[in-house]
Chains A and B, each alone.
Chain A
């Protein structure tokens, strides 16, 4: 029943066996102990499970675990380098861009993808770029500011 899958997660080669119907989210959380991605809806409507697959941000609840074969996957757990936080992480903390924090891993991954494509986005571009990530606590104000500030840092 199980399918063997070899993939790369946060730079490490990872092998796992999963049932073909299992989502990548379930594999990450239940089989690989990577519980940073959260399940808020399971239907691609909230973005809490966002990860990158081959450089593109996806909802891991809408990807099968078996599709990960040979792909490069990045999760929130791989965002910092050693003890050094990614500028987005630093700015989310500094701007208090999180309250309950459950949407934060998804926002960080979506914001990273956004800034990789568009290093100097306008407020509107940030807002539309993050429209797939629901936050119920902050009203998004501080999230947008954190992304603006992180973009500035990343542009150097």
Chain B
């Protein structure tokens, strides 16, 4: 195995593009090293992106936030402006693994790993985040929900890597939230999860919303019907009920060691409703 730690994105892209055999990007390593340990992958090349300065920063701009691909989830949790604007996204990032894992893991890595149960992805999807992808043919931006294409599979092409995750600027009365269900209080993979981001108009009426679900389908889902159920409402009982129904209806889960179809379908509704209530409150709704 060859290990490289380039100092520029360009160099990283060059290494990945040229690589013969299997090449992997190393950001936090909390997935890659586990897979290497278990013998599931045997990389020929590992490109460590943590020495690329541009990827180590969180930048606040007029159009929102740019989170470098090598920024750890712990660092996101220390950025006050980011926490203020996107509390749900930051909370989701702070739920991945332990404090030890959060010192290393990144939301870009979480996204590329493409687990349907990834904690940060539903929050990013609800937030309308975009992935900035660099590759041999230059830069492109895609909606985060378009990065994973199936469990463990992403849409990145050979030589491509995510440089940063962009979050839009927050305007007016907005709030987001992410909730996951796990049997313990910490350290588990989400059995089912939900992210909600919303913006209020006049008098506390929801004028815009995005609802996402995790661990209920091969990829994280953006559930438009669920958003529709609450747009134009003040998140009253009836709206919450409809939101729950839409969330459950969108689920296409499997039975596995972590949960059942029945359980995931039911709890998806519970979490979507609870996340919506938190987001609504954060947006200043009553």
Contact = CB atoms under 8 A, between A and B. Distances in A.
Contacts of A69: 5
Interface stretch (B27-35, B152-160, B237-245): B27-35
Contact of A67 (B38, B48, B98, B187): B48
Contact of A110 (B37, B97, B99): B99
A43 interface: yes
Contact of B100 (A19, A42, A57, A64): A57
Contacts of A133: 98
* Consensus secondary structure, chain B interface: loop
A62 interface: yes
* Consensus secondary structure, chain A interface: mixed
A119 interface: no
Contact of B74 (A23, A43, A56, A64): A56
B103 A58 contact: yes
Interface string B82-100: 0000000000000001111
Contacts, number: 86
B101 A114 contact: no
A44 B100 contact: yes
Given A20-B1, A132-B100, A42 B74 contact: no
21 contacts: A20-B1, A21-B1, A23-B33, A23-B37, A43-B38, A44-B33, A44-B34, A44-B97, A44-B101, A56-B72, A56-B74, A57-B99, A57-B100, A59-B100, A62-B29, A62-B104, A63-B33, A64-B29, A64-B46, A110-B99, A131-B187
Contacts of A128: 185-186
B99 A20 contact: no
Nearest to A63: B29
A42 B37 contact: yes
Contacts of A110: 99-100
Contacts of A63: 29, 33, 104
Query: 8 shortest A-B CB distances, which residue pairs?
Result: A132-B98, A131-B186, A20-B3, A56-B103, A59-B100, A21-B1, A62-B33, A43-B34
Interface of B: 1-3, 5, 26, 28-30, 33-34, 36-38, 43, 46, 48, 50, 72, 74, 97-101, 103-104, 185-187
Interface residues of A, number: 31
Contacts of A61: 33, 37
B171 to A, nearest CB: 32
A133 B99 CA distance: 9
B36 A132 contact: no
A20 B100 contact: no
A50 interface: yes
Contacts of B33: 23, 44, 61-64
Contacts of A50: 100
B3 A3 contact: yes
Interface in A110-153: 110, 113-114, 128-129, 131-133
A36 interface: no
A66 interface: yes
A114 B50 contact: no
